[in-house]
Structure 1
Amino acid sequence: MRRRRLLCSLLLVAAAGMGTAAAPPRSAAADAATPLDQVVPAPASVRPGKGAYTVSDRTLIRVPGASAEVKRVAEYLAGLLRPATGFALPVTTKEGKDGIVLRLGGRDAKGLGSEGYRLRSAGRSVTISATRPAGLFHGVQTLRQLLPAAVERNTAQPGPWQVAGGTIADSPRYGYRAAMVDVSRHFFGVDKLKRYIDQLALYKINTLHLHLSDDQGWRIAIASRPELASHGGSTQVGGGSGGYYTKDDYREIIRYAASRYLTVVPEIDMPGHTNAALSSYAELNCDGKAPPLYTGTDVGFSSLCVPKKETYDFIDDVIREVAAMTPGRYLHIGGDEAHSTSHEDYVTFMDKVQPVVAKYGKTAIGWHQLTGAHPAKGAVAQYWGYDATGADERQQVVDAAKNGTRLILSPADRSYLDMKYDKNSPLGLAWAGYVSVQRSYDWDPGSYLSGAPADSVMGVEAPIWSETLSTSAHIEYMAFPRLPGVAELGWSPAAGHDWGRYKARLAAQGPRWDALGIGYYRSPEVPWPAR
């Protein structure tokens, strides 16, 4: 899944232009409002209307009868809009027929599910209705994209701030829409993860998968096994000091993600990809000897000692502590590239570990090699295969799906954001081939694995592995513009999937990323507006 030696890193820093409040105001005609159907991900249903709503210095954000959580969504919206507009945008619980209204429940919210929303825009108001606060939050992201891109800047801009008239009724195709960050090969601190979480939220991603352990680094503090972090987390690919999350750090990541309506899924990869753990505790090795720490990028050489009781005491300690800190439903146990573990030992290992996950109240996710063992009832397999994956391996996954194992799809040659765009990409790997922006978008999760029941697909994920990535700028260059396409596959109806229309909507995101300071790859496949 991740191969080859470390490539040369290239720091790519975005240069965001800064507007000024002193610029002369533009006319409304010069700033036609963004059509309701031009956002990413594409809404499920759009009915254009007449006119437009204009956010002004008299706009209130209304949350009539709201809970504290809805008020937080309203304050989040106000915080987004205030810097560029220069408006006060006070949040009030008073009823009214003007302003921006966030409303939980009511007739407009019926049938939208837990993440859906309805947005109505007219001359006097914009109203977002939803059944749950998550739906309001997703509606806020749509409203954000309907405003001019300059609204993302952190200094006052001239406006005007118009929202096209009409109605959007929207809800997701899949309930699981994820992005993964490999913090093991290179460590990314809390602030870097928060930055990426904000970017994920803009495109309605609702899950953050953290790859917390691998050969090159162990990144989560375990009180009962302190050497995992202090020793196993002390380095990274190419050397350097590495790092790890304290329990307070991890809780802060979870809290911040939850404030953006993302759930954290922690991954402890095993029985392979375990050199950092093996180096930290000698008893986890069959010969009782701890190997040195590893800073390369090879895979498949490490394995926990399957026959030893100490291995399962260790696993119980780790899963108990990680599960206790994690409010989400899922805990990822890895299971890929266990080339140093015999098939018999692999099956034995997975048969013993999956019940430990259940014992501590979580549902196990494993990479799709789990389907070569005995997936537990309710377990989820994450498929990372690609065009070169053998028919037998694919069929194994399909058969498991037919028997009730649910699937997350993250094909390496479609959704791996660390794959090079083309031969000239300065970052990334290419073992799965080059992954252009069109290729990352132009596939259907519902029919990707031939023979797998459509309802076995739980959702999609866009992983980003970090052999060659060590900064936020690196992540952003590889994620944008491909991440929004994977997000759209997870959210939008399959019937509207069309590269020609999508690339035009994607191009319109460029100025927004410029305003946000995101240094993205200006793919020649996309008709970007001139800067």
Structure 2
Amino acid sequence: MNTTDNLIPRPSHVAPQDGPSFTLSPGARIAAGNTAAQIAEQLAALLRTATGFSLPLVEEHRPGDIALDLVDAFDGGPEAYTLTASEDGVRLTASSPAGLFNAVQTLRQLFPAAIEEGGASEEGDAGTWVVPAVEILDAPRFAYRGLMLDVARNFLSVKEVKEQIDVMTQFKFNALHLHLTDDQGWRIEIRQPEENPSGLDYAKLTEVGGRGAVEVATAVPPRGNSGFYTQQEFRDLQAYAAARNVVVIPEIDLPGHVNAALAAIPQLNPDGVAKDMSTTADVGWSTLDASLPATYEFVAEVLGQLAAMTSGPYLHVGGDEALVTGHANYITMMQEFARLASLTGKTVVGWNEFAEAELPNGSVIQYWFGDLDPIVRQADATAPTVIMSPAANTYLDQKYSAESPIGLEWVKGGPFTWAEYYNWDPAQGGLTDQQILGVEGPLWTETVRNNQQAQWLLYPRAISLAEVAWTGQELRNAGDFRRRLGAFGERLTKQGVVFQEAPDVEWSAPPLNPFTAADASSSPEYGTIEA
């Protein structure tokens, strides 16, 4: 079985062709015009690492080259692409850099798994790098295909987040939601504004909240990591993501999950006394106060600064699990917070509870738990305004087994393997594809302490979600996916990516241990590409 049978996510159309395969030779080049140069350089950096070939970038192609073409019009939308491979060469075609980036990820999988290894000899192995003759036409089912990292409970450094981006993009994920604030930590720098009527000390958010972290006895180690991103680090991280076709969605969770803010800024508390920082993993016990003018001044300033440093179109305002916020106060605050977020020019996103408030036009509802009927009623009939994150099918922090030292188990129906994340249809409960912006898999980090533990919870389940989000429902088959998933194990292992060894999958290589793997992924990056 050749590599055209093992692609993940499964493309819309794969047609093996008669004739000899393409073999990448030491004299091959990568041909691309200026508008495709960044994607071409990323492909070259990946291939050079494994092959040792020079693979210079040129504008005009000849037989034996890999050519990247940007065209004006293309069926299937901006992320669609075609890929053709024959003895004469490989051609990737799309109408946008995003489409070409997706094509590169498919080409990567068409090469032998050894392409994921570094340390090539100077001459390289000229007979190794074979791509089957094939024609692929492909486009995503949903425009938004995301993962979420909870960096509030356990901080992940810029380097760690970049490593996560490097892994997720090979499966054509294109959105990274960062949960930046919670009861246990505040992870984004907010600078002191010139106008500050209530005299709030915004520097305390990271001075106090940046030191926080969750503590869970069963985690290894029990206490999470502390830290925060400066505004420049956050911008740099977004640039790194954008160069890899990923948009970053920042979240400030409101009006609950706010103890880190209450501990940093006394004026946000009715008695004017700062709360103590908390390490508990419990949820739903903190709230902003709807009666305090400082509440709205604070939220406007934070959302305004966050929007100004955010290059993407989305601003997430949370809205979940405000269990001690009276209902009327919740509606008052969420309605105003959504309005303030909208005034920044960003599209407002919130967890599904916030749909109870009157929301700005075009707001996006992220469904995670509870009755789907209100979401269906509020969903725009003509535009994609729902992100599907049902906990039982997408929450990547859930345990694989009750004996696991990391992971949670509050979602009914567990423990959860790759299958529960594959065998579902986002278009459910009356929602149509036209109303669904996409799919997101959240990783909450109460029990996660480093990238290796995060990867172990993410993979292979996130790979299931990648295919759910990309591939049409009619093209998906669980048995075939299980086979392809097993074949992909060798690639993950060669990249240094930790994954859970699902016992019903025949893996092509054993996984690494999440508690003994190196602190940094060994997967090759696409070079030092600047956005």
What's the offset of the Cα at 1:112?
A: 3.2
Report 1:284-295 matches (<5 A): 284-295=268-279
User: 2:208 and 2:39 mapped to 1: Cα distance?
Assistant: 41
Q: How does 1:116-155 map to 2 (within 5 A)?
A: 116-155=80-119
Does the CA-based 8 Å contact 2:342-2:360 persist in structure 1? no
Contact 1:402 1:452 (C-alpha < 8 Å) held by counterparts:
no
**Mapped partners of 2:467, 2:402: distance in 1:** 26
Q: Does 1:77 align with 2:43?
A: yes
In 1, distance between residues paired with 2:258 and 2:339? 20
Distance 1:96 1:529 in 2: 36
Secondary structure of the 2:283 match is coil
Moved more, 95-104 or 314-323: 95-104
Distance 1:149 1:423 in 2: 33
- Kindly report which structure 2 residues correspond to 1:206-217, keeping only aligned pairs within 5 A, or say none: 206-217=174-185
**AA of the residue aligned to 1:40:** I
For the 8 Å contact 1:219–1:244, the answer to whether it is kept is yes
How far has the Cα of 1:371 moved from its partner? 1.7
CA drift of 1:530 comes to 5.1
1:497 matched to 2:481? The reply is: no
- Residues 151 and 445 in structure 2, CA contact (< 8 A), matched pair in contact too: yes
Cα displacement (A) at 1:527? 1.6
Is the 1:438–1:525 Cα contact (8 Å) retained in structure 2?
no
Are residue 377 (structure 1) and residue 356 (structure 2) matched? Answer: no
Is 2:397–2:408's contact at 8 Å kept on the other side of the alignment? yes
Aligned residue number for residue 104 of structure 1: 70
CA offset at residue 210 of structure 1? 0.3
1:405 & 1:502 partners in 2: Cα distance?
Answer: 27
Counterpart residue number, 2:374? 396
TM-score of the aligned structures, taking structure 2 as reference length: 0.89
Q: TM-score, normalised by structure 1?
A: 0.89
The one-letter amino acid paired with 2:156 is: F
Q: Which one of the candidate residues 186, 192, 204 is aligned to 2:160?
A: 192
Measure the CA separation in 2 of the matches of 1:394 and 1:368.
9
Once residues 156 and 74 of structure 2 are traced to their aligned partners in structure 1, the CA distance between those partners, rounded to angstroms, is: 41
2:238 partner amino acid: I
Which whole-Å deviations, capped at 9, do the CAs of 1:67-124 have from their partners, x for residues lacking one? 2xx1111111111111211111111112424310001116xx6213111110000111
Report what 2:309 is aligned to. Answer: 325
Give the SS at the match of 1:216.
Answer: coil
Aligned to 1:442: 423
Asked whether the 8 Å contact 2:299–2:337 carries over to 1, the reply is yes
Instruction: Give the SS at the match of 2:3.
Output: coil
Three-state SS of the structure 2 residue aligned to 1:268 is strand
Give 1:443's aligned amino acid: W
**Cα deviation 1:125-182 (Å, max 9, x = unaligned):** 0000000011111100000011111111111275611111121001111001111000
**Aligned 8 A contact 2:213 2:224 in 1:** yes
Partner of 1:527: 506
Match of residue 56 from structure 1: 25
Per-residue deviation, 1:394 = 2.4
In the alignment, the residues of structure 2 paired with residue 367 and residue 60 of structure 1 have an alpha-carbon distance, to the nearest angstrom, of 47
Q: How far 1:500 sits from its partner (Å)?
A: 0.4
Instruction: Report the secondary structure of 2:236's partner residue.
Output: helix
Structure 1 residues 311 and 461, CA, compared in 2 at 3 Å: closer, same or farther?
same
- The total of aligned residue pairs comes to 486
Q: CA RMSD in A?
A: 1.5
Amino acid at match of 1:438: A
Aligned to 2:234: 250
For the Cα contact (< 8 Å) 1:444–1:489, is it kept in 2? yes
Is residue 367 of structure 1 aligned with residue 351 of structure 2?
yes
1:513 partner amino acid: L
Matched with 1:507 is: 486
For residues 405-454 of structure 1, give each alpha carbon's deviation from its aligned partner in whole angstroms, at most 9, with x where no partner exists. Answer: 8210111111111101122333100100321111111101122xx12344
Whether 1:237 aligns to 2:214 is yes
- Do the aligned partners of 1:504 and 1:527 also contact (CA within 8 Å) in 2? yes
How far, CA to CA, are the matches of 1:401 and 1:359 in structure 2?
Answer: 21
Give the letter aligned to residue 28 of structure 2.
T
Q: Which deviations, in whole Å up to 9, do the C-alpha atoms of 1:15-68 show, x marking residues without a partner? A: xxxxxxxxxxxxxxxxx7412x421010011111022101111111111x332x
What SS is found at the alignment partner of 2:254? coil
After superposing the two structures, state which structure 1 stretch, 402-411 or 265-274, moved more.
402-411
SS at match of 1:269: strand
Residues of 2 paired with 1:110 and 1:104: CA distance? 9
The DSSP-based 3-state class of the residue aligned with 2:134 is: strand
- Counterpart of 1:45 (choices 13, 16, 34) is 13
Who is 1:23 aligned against?
none
Q: Distance in 2 between matches of 1:253 and 1:402?
A: 32
CA 115–425 in structure 1, closer or farther in 2 if over 3 Å, else same: same
Question: Does the Cα contact within 8 Å between 1:186 and 1:237 map onto a contact in 2?
Answer: yes
Post-superposition CA distance 1:466-523 (Å, at most 9, x none): 0000101001111111111101111111111110011111111100001100111110
Q: Name 1:339's counterpart in structure 2.
A: 323
Matched position secondary structure for 2:372: helix
CA distance in 2 between partners of 1:524 and 1:485 (Å): 16
**Is the alpha carbon distance of 1:437 and 1:461 closer, same or farther for their aligned partners in structure 2, counting shifts above 3 Å?**
same
CA contact under 8 A between 1:332 and 1:366: conserved in structure 2? yes
Instruction: Find the residue that maps to 1:210 and give its secondary structure.
Output: strand
Question: Please, which runs of 5 or more residues in structure 1 have no aligned partner?
Answer: 1-31
Q: Which residue of 1 aligns with 2:403?
A: 424
1:314 Cα deviation from its structure 2 partner: 0.3
Matching residue within 377, 391, 406 for 2:385? 406
Give % identity: 41
Select the residue among 198, 210, 223 that pairs with 2:191. Answer: 223
Q: Secondary structure at the residue paired with 1:112?
A: coil
Cα distance change on mapping 1:334 and 1:39 into 2, 3 Å:
same
Aligned 8 A contact 1:33 1:163 in 2: no
Where does structure 2 lack aligned partners over 5 or more consecutive residues?
Answer: 193-201, 216-222, 511-531
What residue in structure 1 maps to residue 147 of structure 2?
A: 179
Residue 264 (structure 1) shift: 0.5
Separation in 2, partners of 1:451, 1:243: 42
